Amino acid sequence: MRLTIIGTGYVGIVSAACFSEFGHVVTCVDIDEKRIAEYNAGRVPIFEPGLQDLIRRNVKGERLSFTTDLAEGVKGAEAVFIAVGTPSRRGDGHADLSYVFAAARDLATVCDEGCVIVNKSTVPVGTASEVEAIIAEVAPGKQLHVASNPEFLREGSAIEDFQRPDRVVVGVSSDYAKRVLAAIYRPLFLRETPLLFTDCRTAELIKYAANAFLSVKIAFINEIADLCESVGADVKGVAKGIGMDRRIGNKFLNPGPGYGGSCFPKDTLALLRTAEQANAKLRIVDATVEANDERKKEMARRVVTACGGSVEGKTIAVLGLTFKPNTDDMRDAPSLVVIPELQAAGALVRAYDPEGRSAAEAMLDGVEFVDNAYRAVDGAAAVVLMTEWNEFRALNLPRIRELLAEPLFIDLRNVYEVDEMAKAGFHYLSIGRGPVLPMEQLRRSAEVIA
């Protein structure tokens, strides 16, 4: 089938690459001439494991192309996917739908009769109806179908998520649109992927409800971690114990410095605004947003406390800046709160991230950026492990301890084992497991007691 993707941001380019890998002929359209030029030159401006190879293979196979010409890009397309940004609107938290509506207006005039216009962007309930109204206004009498097909892609594993999804959700308002979307996703039938057809409003809400629920799980385990520290329990054991219950599941039960990224913060706020407009209360989601915002500030306070109550003039090494590993995405990353809070307390911050430096430099002032973990910790009063990149999972601990001015290791992702860090001579603080003193200090304490 011939498909068009409007927007070559994260969702758009991953969807385009994967659809073309299925065998469809896909054209990507974007008004950003620089970005399209990069794609046409074989460069991928977005970091996602495996994406560059996928794009190059399908460009070479003439199944994937890029253009800034909308009319040319949609010519002959049986379906056009709108995959433009829907950022939180400044001031009120509503999703900014201006890009979606602008795309709908343009498509109404250039799409072929019978084309299916599919909202792939994350949009609030009722957006499909508004798109239908725009099309009817701009091109009265023209038969165009509107559908909703929300994405469920995790940054860092988006290709796997697209090609082997738990389910595909499609909202439609016509049998024709249903047949077209079923044909587009037919390659997944061999894997027996569930294809859930529903109305557009339900499909739109499924996306927001899913992200809100996962956000609640993260906020919940973070608060359980705090309780574990107070009562002497181990949050890893608690998470494992409750996660073995099939009604709960073991995903999103890793405590840390709070959620971030392009989806959870934006989508929970948008869902709350939708609920306000509908005079419905979402108390749990509201509490989750508040708890997550406070969580990030609390992480900075923990670092200050671990440093004896003051970080004035001290160098703090931060390992990892992006909101999660295997992405260069800095949007709403915990580091964007923790680092400025530390700087406000007088700390000098030296940081390293394998992929996020370029984006971080534009968002964080006064930070010294270096090109590896060992340069980051050299002479620092403490090291804070912020993002669990693979290269941080097996650091040379004796070397880290030797380079640090003080053997203080604050692990906000519970990457290391408590006993291991004690033996390595660190004063080790993690999440939900209590502080750990170096073995030699424990021995000295035991001798004093004896």
Active site (catalytic) residues: 263
Write out the E strands in 120-200: 145-148, 168-172, 195-198
* Separation of alpha carbons 320 and 356, rounded Å: 8
3-state secondary structure of 351: strand
Q: Residue 146: which of 107, 196, 109 has the closest Cα?
A: 107
Q: Is 93 helix (H, G, I), strand (E, B) or coil?
A: coil
Q: Tokens in use for 198?
A: 């529903």
Question: What are the strands of the beta sheet with 348-352, ordered from one edge?
Answer: 368-369, 348-352, 315-319, 382-385, 408-411, 427-429
Vertex 358: Cα angle to 430 and 156 (nearest 5): 60
Strands (E), 234-328: 315-319
**Angle formed by the axes of helices 51-60 and 10-21, nearest 10°:** 50
Distances (CA, A) of 357 to 212, 353, 449: 29, 6, 48
